[in-house]
Structure 1
Amino acid sequence: MWRLLKHSAGVANHAAAELFPGYFAVIMATGATSIASYLLELRLMAIALLMANLLAYGILCLLTLIRLVRYPKRLVGDMIDHARGPGFFTIVAGTCILGTQLYIVTGNDALAAMFWWIGVTLWFVIMYLFFIAVTTRAEKPNLSSGINGAWLLAAVSTHSVSILTALLPWSGSTDLRLFFAMCMFLIGCMLYLAIITLIFYRLTFLKVTVESLTPPYWINMGAVAIATLAGSTLILRANEGGILADFQPFLLGFTVFFWATASWWFPLLVGLMLWRHLIRRHRIVYEPQLWSMVFPLAMYTTGTLRLSAALNIPFLMRIPELMIWLALLAWIATSASMFHHFSRLARIPRA
């Protein structure tokens, strides 16, 4: 027993030391898949995914706290790293998406509000720490090695705050809450448009290899998919009147723009993955960044579903009715690969 406990503690300590900053993408992908399942009447699947997400969130929070206490230099080193640093935004996005998942699947306002407070606080801390750190860093990488799709997590995290803010009831002014939600939506749009320009330039004018074409480039699609969901949520709230009513035409156009952009990215990313794995024969192995491919599929499903409701155009529902099965398949395959990976790392030595 003592040997087992000692080994388990060693595994947890090693996991905390080597924890990938973007591992909260597991929470993002699982939450988005659960929300889509619930809205498409797959209630048991949605509840099962919620239970799994709460467990995963607790484990990741514990490992992050251990890392903060025992390995602060590694954590700071990741924060100032142009390639790994953006992964910290998954903590914000995962927290807010889990809060949204709780609100939609269980209707628990109080628990969802707690995640809102945590998410907003983390947004301010991580957003400004990261951008101050990379701006003031003395030695900076070139564009080729310094930027990838993970940078768009800054926009994703901001839109996740907007969605949860727009959904949750509270005792204060409704106009104040919805104005804040709209401001966060617009900040997320600004971040996406600024960062995607650099990413698009990097993809089309600089050398791309199978090693550099990593799964986070799928966030090119995921970022506009969650922007679609944020915009659709605001449009649905604008239908109730209040401060958002005056902005409704603008929100309609901008939201459709982002949905069309997400739709454009999907075939391109599929083609690039086929080039990477079929033509260039790059082997698929489990890595935490694979969750960056699951999240866009689930979020595109949910975003399209809510856009259909916001625009009152039922024919769009055909897309999420098909996409949900692709999202679930991707989630199951990635989860199986993750558990297989962990089982190999955590083998208990025989007595």
Structure 2
Amino acid sequence: MAVVDALLRRVRRLDPGCFALVMATGIVSVDASQHGMPWLALALFAFNLIAYAWLLVLTALRLARFRHSMVADFVDPSRGAGFLTLAAATSVLGSQCLLVVSCPRLALGLAIAGAVLWLALIYLFFAATITARFKPGFTRSINGGWLVAVVSTQALAALVALIAGHAPTPRGGWLFVALCLYLLGAALYLLIITLVVYRMVFFPMRAREFTPPYWIDMGALAVTTLAGSLVVINTPAASPLLPLLPFVKGFTLFFWATASWWIPLLVILELWRHIWRHVPVRYETDDWDIVFPIGMYTVGTFELAQALHLDFLRTIPAVGVYVSLLAWLLVALIGLRRLYRSQFRHAPHV
């Protein structure tokens, strides 16, 4: 009974953004696959399947047993966007099914599930936020986590573009959907990032308030780069969408350049947080929101180099793959250390 009680306590406090673990692991797996590490990519894929299934079970259990606290998180503007990590993780896992292993049917099933989850969660989140009777205020509501709305949109766009590239039949419809999702994600980014930067620049921000989700400022751009690059790569020469490709190429390069600009600033702010302001380094579920953008920037740059035939850009992912693997390993080790300590602290003494 003690084990069950402990599990239920964890379920009740389950972080809405817990599926960031699946997003981060999935993109690092793709990264490893692109750089000649198939066994590592497969191991991460297997881990991701287990993590995804386990988190689904916990989420379903929370919905069944603690619906009130789950709804309270969903209507909280500072936390509600985290639920969109479920939709994003489903699409990233689907992309793994095509880029790491050859499971097109599973990828198609995950694409359908990801689309349903994306439609339901993105509209419910914005509707709940707009219609809420009590709002905690601008600085307590907006943060980088809102950009998961962009990530989930572009992750789905990337998966649909990959399915189009693997489809044996004419793929114009798939590519059209992927392009529309890509453009929608771009529009959402421009809208949301304006609010996020306004909050960061014109309102006081304490070091503890600069949380890992602010790394999604860059990560949302990186996944937009990936989605645009995959649309370009998978558009056949006879496609009616071909005249739009110069626009997509320019827009994708624009987003990649902006993502590159964000990286030094985010590193500086991390140093300010931990070294200058002495915020201790401890594991949080949100830490995977740092790993995902790093891995996604590497994968997005790799695909951008192919889409624009810019071979000199391949130097970045050739180095970035090791940075993303190291980031994943560090967060995993810190998380395991915290899990071990919490279990040891609460273990019964004989």
| Residue aligning to 1:45 | 40
Letter in 2 for 1:74: S
Give the match's secondary structure for 1:21.
coil
| Residue aligning to 1:137 | 132
Distance in 2 separating the partners of 1:21 and 1:170? 34
Measure how far apart 1:148 and its partner are.
Answer: 0.4
Query: Which of 222, 227, 233 pairs up with 1:225?
Result: 222
| Residue aligning to 1:272 | 269
| Residue aligning to 2:58 | 63
| Residue aligning to 2:208 | 211
Aligned residues: 346
Task: Give per-residue Cα distances to partners, 1:11-43, cap 9 Å, x unaligned.
Answer: 321221110000100001000100011011111
| Residue aligning to 1:10 | 5
Q: Provide the TM-score with structure 2 as the length reference.
A: 0.96
Matched, 1:336 2:333: yes
Letter in 1 for 2:50: L
Distance in 1 separating the partners of 2:240 and 2:121? 29
Query: Which of 113, 116, 119 pairs up with 2:114?
Result: 119
| Residue aligning to 1:3 | none
Letter in 1 for 2:140: S
Letter in 2 for 1:349: P
Contact in 1 for aligned 2:175/2:235 (Cα 8 Å): no
Change (3 A) 1:83 1:309: same
Query: Which of 69, 75, 79 pairs up with 1:74?
Result: 69
| Residue aligning to 2:160 | 165
Q: Provide the TM-score with structure 1 as the length reference.
A: 0.96
Contact in 2 for aligned 1:155/1:188 (Cα 8 Å): yes
Matched, 1:25 2:20: yes
Query: Which of 283, 287, 290 pairs up with 2:287?
Result: 290
Distance in 1 separating the partners of 2:228 and 2:320? 20
Distance in 2 separating the partners of 1:346 and 1:98? 30
User: Gaps (5+ residues) in structure 1?
Assistant: 1-5
Task: Give per-residue Cα distances to partners, 1:223-250, cap 9 Å, x unaligned.
Answer: 0000000000001012543133121011
Contact in 2 for aligned 1:35/1:104 (Cα 8 Å): yes
Change (3 A) 1:9 1:170: farther
Change (3 A) 1:15 1:307: same
Give the match's secondary structure for 1:300.
helix
Distance in 1 separating the partners of 2:111 and 2:6? 32
| Residue aligning to 2:244 | 247
Matched, 1:190 2:204: no
Letter in 2 for 1:8: V
Distance in 1 separating the partners of 2:146 and 2:301? 23
User: Gaps (5+ residues) in structure 2?
Assistant: none
Distance in 2 separating the partners of 1:212 and 1:45? 35
Measure how far apart 1:172 and its partner are.
Answer: 7.0
Distance in 2 separating the partners of 1:8 and 1:324? 39
Matched, 1:237 2:197: no
Distance in 1 separating the partners of 2:266 and 2:234? 32
